[in-house]
């Protein structure tokens, strides 16, 4: 098991998946998809990594796509929870936006393997499942946009294009998962601080 899969499990990303066999299959699938891509991975590969037979996998997941959907669902639910939690902590729009960026960046750095699978394999979801995930993505976007709109309304931010700026802020945070390396120069917290400062400049926060 990779350090991240282990860490992900320990920090509870997959903690609400039960029984234990289903949880092991999900972490095995994340690793396999990340290493070889969704289409190059077979359910047999995933079962093998989880120390199970293909028949045992089938009890929990009828198809490889169901595993991807579960991974994507958990990933997006956690991302939305992180954005909402940071936002609910309260404070000025600048404090809320900085808190959301810090948490979102840290999540994409610490769970970069999961985040890559979630972001790069969206096209492999069934149409029905993609519709559910797309709705969750719109909720994340709306939560960030609402903070930026609050800042504009109160005069704390100066943003000519709110929807474009929301897109850019989320894109900047998500792309951390692509380039982040655990042995790199910056810790997840340091990247979070750097990015919170850059985002406050993007929204024209006074004093940033």
What token pair was written down for 186? 């910056």
Site for its own copies in 94-123 (CB under 8 A): 116, 119-120
* Alpha carbon 147 to chain centroid, angstroms: 19
Give dist(CA 101, CA 191) in Å, integer: 10
Give yes or no for residue 162 binding its own copies (CB under 8 A): no
The pair phi, psi for residue 184, each rounded to 5°, is -75, 180
Nearest to 112 by CA among 46, 183, 164: 183
Q: Which stretch binds its own copies (CB under 8 A): 47-55, 71-79, 91-99, 173-181?
A: 173-181
Q: Which stretch binds its own copies (CB under 8 A): 20-28, 61-69, 90-98, 194-202?
A: 194-202
Q: Which stretch binds its own copies (CB under 8 A): 22-30, 85-93, 148-156, 169-177?
A: 169-177
Please provide the DSSP assignment of 178-194 as one string.
HH--TTSSS-HHHHHHH
Give yes or no for residue 197 binding its own copies (CB under 8 A): yes
Q: How far is the CB of 78 from its own copies (least distance, A)?
A: 19
Select the residue interacting with its own copies from 26, 148, 176, 196 (CB under 8 A): 176
Q: How far is the CB of 112 from its own copies (least distance, A)?
A: 12
Site for its own copies in 24-63 (CB under 8 A): 36-40
What token pair was written down for 122? 């969206």
Alpha helices, DSSP H, located in the chain:
3-10, 20-36, 43-49, 54-60, 64-88, 93-110, 112-120, 127-154, 162-174, 176-179, 188-202
Give yes or no for residue 179 binding its own copies (CB under 8 A): yes
Give dist(CA 76, CA 156) in Å, integer: 29
Give yes or no for residue 157 binding its own copies (CB under 8 A): no
Select the residue interacting with its own copies from 51, 91, 164, 182 (CB under 8 A): 164
Q: Which residues sit at the interface with its own copies, rule CB under 8 A?
A: 36-40, 116, 119-120, 160-161, 164-165, 167-168, 171-172, 174-176, 178-179, 186, 191, 194-195, 197-198, 201-202, 204
């Amino acid at each position: 098991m990779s350090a991240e899969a282990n860490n992900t499990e320990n920090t509870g990303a997959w903690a609400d998946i039960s029984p234990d066999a289903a949880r092991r299959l999900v972490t095995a699938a994340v690793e396999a998809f990340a290493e070889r891509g969704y289409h190059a991975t077979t359910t047999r590969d995933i079962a093998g990594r989880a120390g199970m037979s293909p028949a045992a996998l089938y009890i929990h997941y009828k198809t490889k796509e169901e595993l991807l959907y579960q991974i994507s669902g958990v990933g997006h639910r956690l991302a939305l929870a992180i954005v909402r939690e940071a936002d609910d902590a309260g404070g000025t729009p600048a404090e809320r936006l900085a808190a959301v960026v810090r948490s979102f960046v840290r999540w994409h750095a610490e769970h970069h393997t999961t985040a890559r699978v979630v972001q790069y394999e969206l096209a492999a979801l069934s149409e029905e499942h993609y519709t559910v995930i797309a709705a969750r993505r719109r909720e994340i976007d709306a939560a960030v946009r609402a903070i930026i709109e609050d800042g504009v309304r109160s005069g704390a931010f100066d943003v000519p294009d709110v929807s474009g700026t929301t897109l850019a802020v989320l894109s900047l945070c998500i792309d951390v998962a692509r380039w982040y390396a655990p042995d790199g120069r910056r810790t997840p917290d340091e990247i979070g601080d750097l990015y919170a400062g850059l985002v406050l400049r993007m929204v024209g926060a006074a004093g940033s």
